[in-house]
Chains A and B, each alone.
Chain A
Amino acid sequence: MKAVLVEHDLLTAYGHGIDAAWSGLLSRQTAVRPVARFPTGAFTSHVAATLDVLDPGRRDSLCGQMLRLVLDPARLRIPRDAFVLLATTVGEIDLLERSLLGGDGRPEDSAPARLLEKVCALCGTRGDGMVISAACASSGAALAQAAALIRDGRADGVLVVACDSVTEFVFSGFSSLMALDSHAARPFDRRRRGLSLGEAAAAALLMSEERARREGRRVAAAVAGWGLSNDANHMTGPSRDGSGLAAALRQALHSAGVAASDIAFISAHGTGTPYNDAMELKAFKQVFTARPLPTYSVKGAIGHTLGAAGLVETLIALHALRAGRIPSTVNLAEVDDAAAGWAAAVPVAVSGRHAAIVNAGFGGINSALVISREET
């Protein structure tokens, strides 16, 4: 049973909706800017891609505020029987911050299961669901699991919801690991020094092709294939040779039943850390051997949105498939030698029906997806 994507929405530092994200990317202006939400004086960076509409002083968590904007059951036509997959790394961690800083609430309120309950309530679903967390590959893994449930005939409607926010907890942690660039992140640039954090929420409703047709849904794309792997190598750094991500990519191509030459472009994880970007390019060159493929990263533009990254980047890749061009890699000025011919500082025209989206996370977790443009 083919898994098709029928409804979606997203919220990034460029604003609400795919059009805001797309025009922001094409503007080549980064949404990364100085952080005003908490003091950053002691950290190695002072910038992130945050959303002005969020207010940390509100009772609702930052993720909760984002999800209220994204999860409109009527607009997304979310069926009550949809199985919900929530993808996040730390979810409502700001509730734990508040509690430990002497504010209201309890640390337990930050548990991912609580957020899943809230998501189901917001969506008006029956409450069947699962939290999927796979570090920064969380929503790539959740999309894979959603497509698998549909392909296996175990569900015919799955809602994937993804969110993560910029908090003092996360910012201080990445700073302690010396993983942040003091400038806005510069993926695939030879001067890259680290990542920039970002926040986002997104939702995608997947259905079996049969149910989508029965309900008269407009099909945007198929989640055609996926691959998941683990480096089993290091807690915070990727395997240097890219073999884990290459294995996930090969699995995704096999699962989709397409050849490497069928892929029009790659939406890279592209964090802007020296090791990640180098590892990714090694992986791409192991799999796409015939020629360099048009490749981009959105993380210089909207920051690294952690558990939301995979879904946000899938929706942007879908838009790129339809538009017939990929966005530039924002902040890319001096292309790293290893990325020459792959990443570009300008938008690039592409043709084809299939795109690959890859993500990688702490603990060596890799995800790869193949999405296919549908013609309906």
Chain B
Amino acid sequence: MIRVRGVGWISGPEFGGVRLAQRHAFPPGATLHTLWRDAHLLPAPPKNAGRFNAAVHLTCGAIALALRDAGLECVGDRKRDIGLLAATPDGCLAANRAYFEDYLTGGRTMGRGNLFIYTLPTSAAAEAAICFGLQGPLLYAAGSGRPAHALLATACGMMERGEAAGMLALLAEGDAALCFFLAEAAAAPHHDVCAVEEALRATDIDAPLAELIGNIAGRPPSA
């Protein structure tokens, strides 16, 4: 039976996890770029954090919160049979703009590789997969309606077919992100957030991400 084992979220000035009912405000002056240093999310900053763009920070942050909410260690020094599905409304528009504007500013002679590597819709997820050792399927999968529901349904199907032992489903927009971690049922029911069917019902609405986060972050864990 597939359960939602952890949910991490970031929304404007706050971040948290649903199972642990955690809600934190960013410390004064802190951003996702600096939060790694405070050990709120990870015991140590990811290896390549210095090159991360905003989308990668957001993606890694939400995944770290979801894994921690599920009671898993957030270190990438071992590989895991976990897949990652991600969706955003605009692909990676900000990274595309950053690359091409820099290329134009440079006289259209040479782009910067460190900007170009983030110009795929999967770039942020791929960087997160390296960070957390995720070796399952990795896709950008943006549905034409109810994107969180579509992501969860797709992730659930992959697990049912045995394509990965666990799946992360991440929706990001602007400075907000919501990440579900799905896995087989834990030994103790209170180690879950809810059944995946309940999460599918909760996301079966066409609502802005901020509203979805509000609904789900305020949701009490149910056994």
| Residue ranges of A at the interface with B (Cβ–Cβ < 8 Å) | 39, 42-43, 89-91, 93, 96-97, 100-101, 107-108, 110-113, 116-117, 120, 127-135, 141, 145, 148-149, 151-152, 154, 168-169, 172-177, 227-236, 244, 247, 251, 255, 361-365
Contact = CB atoms under 8 A, between A and B. Distances in A.
Interface stretch (B1-9, B136-144, B210-218): B136-144
A225 to B, nearest CB: 11
B169 to A, nearest CB: 13
B116 interface: yes
A152 B141 contact: no
B113 interface: yes
B150 to A, nearest CB: 6
A228 B163 contact: yes
B126 A131 contact: no
Top 10 closest A-B pairs, CB basis? A363-B126, A173-B116, A228-B137, A42-B109, A133-B140, A176-B111, A133-B121, A172-B111, A230-B138, A111-B90
B141 A132 contact: yes
Given A107-B93, A130-B142, 5 more contacts: A43-B110, A133-B91, A133-B120, A228-B136, A230-B134
A173 B110 CA distance: 8
A177 B158 CA distance: 33
A141 B97 contact: no
Given A134-B138, A148-B161, A230-B134, A236 B122 contact: no
Which secondary structure characterizes the binding site on chain B?
mixed
Interface of B: 76, 79, 83-84, 89-91, 93, 96-97, 99-101, 103-104, 108-113, 116-117, 119-123, 125-127, 129-130, 132-145, 150, 153-154, 157-158, 160-161, 163
A230 B111 contact: no
A132 to B, nearest CB: 6
8 contacts: A97-B100, A112-B91, A128-B145, A145-B141, A176-B111, A362-B126, A363-B129, A365-B126
Contacts of B126: 135, 230, 235, 362-365
A108 B93 CA distance: 7
Contacts of A363: 120, 122-123, 125-127, 129-130, 138
A154 B142 contact: no
B144 A113 contact: yes
Nearest to A230: B138
Contacts of A101: 104
A317 to B, nearest CB: 22
Contact of A141 (B90, B127, B139): B139
Contacts of B137: 141, 228-230
A258 B9 CA distance: 42
B79 A232 contact: yes
Nearest to A367: B137
B142 A96 contact: no
Given A107-B97, A130-B144, A232-B133, A172 B157 contact: no
Contacts of B97: 96, 100, 107
